[in-house]
Amino acid sequence: MSNDPTPPDQIAPELAKVRFAGVYHDAPFALSLALRDGVLFLVLEGALTQNLPDSFVLGVERAAALVPTAKLAADVSKATHIASVMIAYLVSVVKLAQNRGQKALPLLQPSQRIVTLVKMVGLLELFTLAPTEADLRRQLGLK
């Protein structure tokens, strides 16, 4: 990502600052960011049923601005549950992705429960389902 204005050695520490984790109704959860080969992943782990603090949402937007050439995706491979509040947030991430020329936000390894929820709320056209990272990269037009 040589066209990105932020030097690579400064990106990782900034991404590490963008984290929201804890236990909600006895269920652990974590949200973080990871930059892997030109793809900025929103990483969802555990049961995601709570509202997100504004500081996290703004942190994601600031981090995405550091790597304007990166494609966006959501790694939901370790997410056990997501609620409508998380779907709503993912839709806002879709908007960020669309501003980068993406048609949809790839979901990496979604569980059947997550796929069903996305279908039930009628938002499948905003997401693509990627069983592997290689599939995700192909969906994004990357090698």
The pLDDT tens digits for 46-84 are 998 878 999 999 999 999 999 999 999 999 999 998 988
Low-confidence ranges of the chain (pLDDT < 50): 1
**123: amino acid identity, one letter:** L
For the entire predicted model, the pTM comes to 0.91
8 A C-beta contact, residue 65 and residue 97? no
**pLDDT recorded at residue 58:** 95
**pLDDT recorded at residue 3:** 61
| Cβ-Cβ contacts under 8 Å for 67 (sequence gap 6 or more) | 1, 4, 6, 11, 35, 40
**pLDDT recorded at residue 25:** 83
